[in-house]
Structure 1
């Protein structure tokens, strides 16, 4: 009677990654990504050292602002990890 598909996976954000979280880029996840292929061949070290602040989370992407005079960047959430 009901045609609702309950087997569809729910969209969830990784734990701890929300607006205001300090993050850094996971080198292994980033190096094999399409974002890395579209960027400079040698990424700057500061993205792997952190911290950057997560400004916005939309879907599978997050906007990160670094504490440097560089533009904000959008990266996939699975490429980011909490800065410790």
Structure 2
């Protein structure tokens, strides 16, 4: 018997201090979205948020606003690119 071929999930690697934004499609199709408020603030999708801590597949994000830091899965994040 041969074992089925399992392709490893490719995961983006982020580091502390990286600037990110939330990928709307990845977040809205997630289990976390089903368990959270449906009206999310637009600034999380526009960015930038700064990564404070990366632990396994989760990242702690601080937004440049007077709001609490949040933990999000790294596969729901993408690199923020300045439009200026």
Q: Which residue of 2 aligns with 1:39?
A: 36
Q: Which runs of 5+ in 1 are unaligned?
A: 1-8
CA distance in 1, matches of 2:73, 2:27: 9
CA distance in 2, matches of 1:59, 1:71: 21
Aligned residues: 75
CA distance in 1, matches of 2:35, 2:41: 14
Per-residue deviation, 1:34 = 1.5
Give the TM-score normalised by the residue count of structure 1.
Answer: 0.80
CA distance in 1, matches of 2:11, 2:31: 20
Q: Which residue of 1 aligns with 2:3?
A: none
Give the TM-score normalised by the residue count of structure 2.
Answer: 0.80
Moved over 3 A (4+): none
Q: CA RMSD in A?
A: 1.9
1:63 alignment partner, SS class: strand
Residue from 49, 54, 58 that aligns with 2:55: 58
